Structure 1
Amino acid sequence: MRNAPVFIDLFAGCGGLSLGLLQAGWKGALAVERTADAFLTYSNNLIDSGRFQYDWPEWLPKQEHDIEAFLDEYKDHLASLNGKVDLIAGGPPCQGFSPAGKRNPKDPRNRMAERYIEAVKIVKPKFLLLENVRGFDAPFQKASKGKKAVPYSHVVKRRLQKEGYDVQFQVVVSADWGVPQMRPRFILVATRKDLRLDWSPFNRFGEGRREFLQERGLDPDCRQTTKDAIDDLRVEGKLLVESTDGDVRGFKQIEYKEPLSFSAFQRLMRAGNADGRGPNSLRLPKHRPLIIERFERILKECPKGKSLTQEQRDRYGIKKHSITPLCPDRPSATMTTLPDDFLHYSEARILTVREMARIQSFPDWFEFLGRYTTGGSLRKTSCPRYTQVGNAVPPLLGEALGELMMEAFNRLADSEDKAA
C-alpha cells in the first residue's frame, strides 16, 4: 500500500487549507502560524485530535512561529526535509492585495510571498499550492513611473519558474465547490519540472467538480445558499442558555438540537457528530436596544445581499464602511474578519462565529479556541475566533484542491512504478 504524501502548511491560520488536504488523504508534517490562538485551534483539531495522520517533527516546538524567525532559526532542519515533503501549501497574508483594502504595493505583508518562495528553495517539494485573494492577480493601480503595472502573481510565477517549477494559476469561485459563499480565490499550482509530469491542473480541476459535489451529497447544479448553511442555528424557537466556551461570562447561546430534517449542506457539516452534540462557538452578540432597532429597520427596508450604500448608511447613522444584510436564498458574500460587516437575514443581529464557520464550510466538530474578539493594542497581535474564521481557506475548497494534488501525486507515483 502506498504511503500518504506529505505536506507542510505555511501561513496556516486556524487550519482551513490543512483540514482540506488532510480530508483528501494527505499527511501533515508541520505548520507555521504566527498567532497563538490560531495555532491553538489548528493543533487541537488537526495535530492532536487523532483524526488525521500528522507527524510533527521533534526539532520544532509545537507552538506558534513567525515565518521569518522560523526560516532563520530552523533553516538547517527544514533542509533535512528535502526529498521527504511532497507539497508546500500556504496562503500568505493578503491584505496588501485585497480589493477590500487599500491595495498598497508597499504593504509589508506583501513580502510574505517571498518567505513562501524561500521555503520552496530550501525544501524543493514536488508540488506547490498557493492560495490568495483574487487581487493577487491584478496590477496595483499605480505603477512606478516608466514601468508597466504587473500583477504580483506574475512576479511570483517568474520566481518559481527560476527555481525549476512549471506554474499555472487561476481565480476559482468557492461557491462552485459547495461553499455557501462566493469567495473568489487566486489559486496557484506548480510542479517541479524535472518530474516531467504532463498534466493540466485546472482542466482536471473543472472536470472533477460534479463528482466531488455528488460524493458529498450536494447538487452540482445548484449553489449552496446562506439559508442552507445556517438556518438550523437561528435563535427563533430555541432555548437560550449560558455560553460557557469563552473567557467572558454573561453571554447567551442557543441550546442546539438537531432539526428533524437537514439541508444537504447541514448534513455534510454535521457529519462526525455521532452523539448529536452541538458545535462550539455559538455565543450570541449582545446588542443595545438602539442597535437592534436599527438592524430591524435595515432588514425591513433594505435589499438583502447588497452592501448598504453611503446614503443608506447615513440614513441609519452607520459610520462603518461596509455592512450587508445577508440574502437567505443566495450564497453569502465573502466572509471577512469583521463580524459586524454582515447582518443575519432574518434576525436583527450579526452572525455568531459558528454561523460564519458554517458559511466557510468548517464542519461542526471543528472547535475554535481563544477569545471571540479583541480590540485596542491587542488587535495587531492577536487572532480571535472571528478573525480565525474570516482569514481561513474554506475547507471544502481545500479538500477539492487536495484531491487535485493527490491525483497529481498518484500519477507521478504510477509513472515511477512503471519506470522501475
Structure 2
Amino acid sequence: MLNIAETLHRWCREARPFALATVVGVHGSAPLPVGTSVAVDEDGDAVGSISGGCVEGAVYELCRQVLRDRGTPQRAWFGYSDDDAFAVGLTCGGELDVLVQRIDPAAQPHLSTALSEIDRGRPVAVAQVVDGPERLLGSTLSVLGGGHAAYGRVDGGPADRAVADRARALLRAGRTARIDIGGQADECPERLSVLVHVHASRPRLLVFGAVDFAAALSQAGRFLGHHVTVCDARPVFATPARFPHADKVVADWPHRYLERTEVDERTAVCVLTHDAKFDIPLLRLALDLPVAYVGAMGSRRTHDERMRRLREQGVTESQLARLRSPIGLDLGASTPEETAVSITAEIIAQAHHGTGRPLTQITGPIHRPSALTSYR
C-alpha cells in the first residue's frame, strides 16, 4: 500500500471508504513485488497498479464488488506461464496472489496516522493479516517512529503483541516482508500470515574519528544495513578514499556536524576520537538527543576522566547512564575488525534488549518479544 500512500492519506483525511487490493504473494517472474497495491474509492476513482496493466480491469471490478458488499475480504489469483505471458500483456509472467478488502478510515484511524507519518518521511510499519481465520482477515496494526507503541488491532489479544514485535524487527531492518506467526499458546493460538509494509530509510550509523577502527566499523555497519557517515575535523584524514564503505565522509568538527544533521530513534552514534576537545562537546550533545545508541572508545582511565568532564559540563546522571563506554561488548577484541564486531554486537543487543551473554547460559526462547507499551 505504500506505493499509493499519498492518495490513501488524502482519502483517509476525507473519511472516504475505499477498497484496497494488495499483492500478498508472488510466484515466478511477476512484475511487481509483494506489498504493491491498487485502491478504488466509492466514486470509482482508482490509483496504483499491481501488474503493469493486464489484470487491472479484473482487480478494479473486484474492488467495486467488495465496496458494494461491505463484507469479508476477497482473494484472487492471477497466473500465467512465462511462455504465453506476453500474449496476455503480462510481459514477465508469474503468478499474483491478491487480497481485496474494504477500508473504512473512520473505523481504522491509526491508518491515517501512519500514512501521515509516511508523508513526513518518518519510519512506519503497517501489518496486515492476509491469511488466517476469516474474522481476522484484513485486520491492520501500525508501529510508528521508534516502534514503542502499536496502534490498531489484530485480535485484541496475544496476536497483537506477536505481530507488533515482528513489525518492529522489520521496521528496524527497513524491509517489507510476509511473516507467519501463531500455533503457540503464548504467542497466538491461531496461525496467521501477516504482510508487514515498511516505510523506513536505513538506520544511521554516525562514526566520529577517522581512524583505523572507523574504517572497520563503517564496513561492518554497511554490512548490517546502516547508512554510514564518518566525520572528523581533519580534512587530510576524512576522505572517501580512506573509507570506501561509508555512504558519506564529512570533514567538520564532530559536534557541529551532529548539531545540523538529522537523527532519529534508530541512529547509533559511535565516538572513536578519544580526544577530549572532540569528545566532550560531542557527547554532551549526543546524550541529549533521542538516538538509539551512544558509545565512546577509550581506556578505563579515559572513561573516568571523560565522565568527570561531562559532569562538569552539566550532563545529568540519567544521561550518563545512556553512554556505552568503554564501547562494545567483551569479546576479547583487539584488531580493528574484531573491535567493529564488538561494537556492532552491542548496538544489536541494545536494539533487541539482548543480554550479550552466550545462548548456552540462557534458558527460555532464543527470540524474546520486546515490551509493548500500548495498543489503541
Decide: shared fold, TM above 0.5. no
Higher helix share: 1
TM-score, length-normalised on structure 1?
A: 0.32
* The structure with more radius of gyration: 2
The structure that is strand-richer by fraction is 2
Q: TM-score of the superposition, structure 2-length normalised? A: 0.35
Which structure's relative contact order is higher, taking Cα pairs within 8 Å and 6+ residues apart?
1
